[in-house]
Structure 1
Amino acid sequence: MRHGKKNNHLGRTAAHRKAMLSNMAASLIMHKRLSTTVAKAKALRKYVEPLLTKSKNDTTHSRRTVFAYLQEKEAVKELFDEVSAKIANRPGGYTRILKTGLRLGDNAEMCVIELVDYNEDMLASTGAAAGAKKTRRRGAGGAKKKAEGAAEAPKAAETDATAEEAKDAE
């Protein structure tokens, strides 16, 4: 039984796992997106999200703490300069995991893990959708009522126009 054992060992020794997650976190910060297996992505999410939270407070102590995890100067600089500015008012949930299917060689479940605020395609689509009213499908009855309502609107406009013409004639 594995009661209370919440971290996935990923079939590696502790040192190998720590080095792998450190490298993956640095790559995610530098490239904003990473393709990997779902198990590694979930482990990486638990590893990198506290670092992203810590980057919101730009102090020497937090930089040194993050460097102890990442071991890469460029990644720490990128994290504190660019990434932290974008995630400043986000309360959490900095990463997104998108499943992409199965790997050909061993049929492992693959995914893309990315930083949420850096996917321009999704940001553009949610921005456009936020302005438009969402519609729901509720069966044929609702569609008929919408069509009838749309047909009644021009009729109302016609009656207003004829009333105005009558006033102009007087």
Structure 2
Amino acid sequence: MRHKKAGRQFGRDTSSRRAMLRNLTANLITHERIETTDAKAKELRRVAERLITKATRLGKVAYTAHGELSPGDRARRLHAERLVGSYIPRWGVATDGKKVDIIAKVMIDLSKRFEGRPGGYTRIIKLGPRRGDCAQMSLIEFIDAPPVADAPAQAAEPVAAAEPATPATTAG
């Protein structure tokens, strides 16, 4: 019986599961929305929201410059940064190829953005089954993520008419 055993196993051992969730969390923070399976999105929500809550509980200390903080506030911020950094990697790569400091983004950008909000920082949108294995897919994003820029509809190029196929003739 699995009474009081929270979390999904995903058919993986602990280190593989933790690595997968670390990478999903880092990608969610870097790109602000990712597409994944329903089960992974639901588990990712637990992890990501706990990390953001650690930063938002600091209040203004999270995004104030280090020079303006008292020694006690510096210690609180450093402790929170180390707790967040113990789970996710420090650096990520954005879509445009630039390096992103993920921990600074959590501590400065996301904590300021969600300062007055008591949880519920992410939204899961069901996308339907994945082609190939029919796994249920979802889009997980921060609730105030910038809208997706729709690609302009491109006019389809007319396809040149191919030569009509002639029936093959057999010799002999």
Q: Distance in 2 between matches of 1:99 and 1:113?
A: 9
The count of corresponding residues between Structure 1 and Structure 2 is 121
Greater RCO (Cα-Cα under 8 Å, separation 6 or more)? 2
Aligned pair 1:79/2:103, yes or no?
no
1:49 is paired with a residue whose SS is: helix
Q: Distance in 2 between matches of 1:119 and 1:38?
A: 22
2:137 is paired with a residue whose SS is: strand
Contact 1:35 1:112 in 2 (8 A): yes
1:133 aligns with none
2:35 is paired with a residue whose SS is: strand
Give the TM-score normalised by the residue count of structure 2.
Answer: 0.67
Structure 1's consecutive aligned runs of 4 or more residues displaced over 3 angstroms after TM superposition are: none
Q: Distance in 1 between matches of 2:107 and 2:124?
A: 23
Aligned pair 1:50/2:50, yes or no?
yes
Identity of aligned residues (%): 42
Which structure would you say has the larger Rg?
1
Tell me, which stretches of 5 or more residues in structure 1 are unaligned?
122-170
Contact 1:95 1:114 in 2 (8 A): yes
Tell me, which stretches of 5 or more residues in structure 2 are unaligned?
63-76, 92-100, 149-172
1:104 aligns with 131
- After superposition, give the CA deviation of every residue in 1:46-69 in whole Å (9 maximum; x if it has no partner): 111110101112211000100001
2:5 aligns with 5
Contact 1:87 1:117 in 2 (8 A): no
> Which is helix-richer, 1 or 2?
1
Q: What RMSD in Å do the two structures reach over aligned CA positions?
A: 1.3
2:41 aligns with 41
Give the TM-score normalised by the residue count of structure 1.
Answer: 0.68
The one-letter amino acid of 1:32's match is E
Contact 1:37 1:108 in 2 (8 A): yes
